[in-house]
Amino acid sequence: MSSCKTALTQGRFRWRHDQVLRELADVLERERARKGHPTKVNSINFVRPGEKGKAAPHQGGILDGAQLWEMRVDLDRRLSYPDIIQTSLRPDIVLWSVQSKRMVMVELTVPWEKCCEEAYQRKKMKYASIAEEVRALGWSAWVFPVEMGSRGFPAQSMWKMFSALGITGVKRRTAVMHLSRTAERASSWLWWKRGDSSWKQSTGGQ
């Protein structure tokens, strides 16, 4: 399920990773498109009778307040890094806004559940240097290592990433549920095929 050398060599774990990555990319693409042209939203605080209320600015996520977001995804190993810095590293998902000088990098891992924390720390260190280079150019940069357990149990990093990007409430719960099901289905497929000496990848996940 997560540590077989044969499965790793044949690309089975990469296939499962990409199934989850496609689902995650779809969620972020919808949010990117929706928040490409944000509108200002104000809320009113509750006050005691006789007192004046003050309009409080809406507290959104990283994607709020910036326009013309672009996104690239490292599916089928085709990601080319934005022409902001030169690097050989390829995060799974990169979102950026030249207008607002913001960049978000998301790196997905689908490990055995007990390995989530180790994967988080390893990926965080791996991409820290890119974030520093981007910040040195006057940009704001965020790195989100996220883990979806191979049996469909999401790590806290997944929930926190969605919240940071402004995906909260029912939308966040629905997104995580779909990601969990995708990981579970892909792992089930790997389990069913564990006795096969050859491996034929499927783009449909079944």
Phi, psi at 158, each rounded to 5°: -70, -45
Ordered by where they begin, the domains of the chain are 5-36+56-190 (3.40.91)
Per-residue model confidence (pLDDT) at position 158: 97
The type of residue at 117 is: E
pLDDT tens digits for range 113-155: 888 999 999 999 999 999 999 999 999 999 999 999 988 999 9
User: According to the model, what pLDDT value does residue 122 have?
Assistant: 94
pLDDT (tens digit, 9 = 90+) per residue, 32-63?
A: 988 755 444 444 454 556 555 554 444 579 99
What is the band of 82 on the pLDDT scale with cuts at 50, 70, 90?
confident
The stretch 182-188 carries a mean pLDDT of: 89
Per the rule left: phi > 0, alpha: psi between -120 and 50, beta: everything else, 4 is: beta
pTM of the entire structure? 0.78
- Band (pLDDT 50/70/90 cuts) for residue 87 is confident
Task: Select the more confidently predicted residue: 131 or 65.
Answer: 131
CA 89: distance to chain centroid? 16
Specify burial of residue 101 (Cβ count, 10 A radius: 0-12, 13-18, 19+): middle
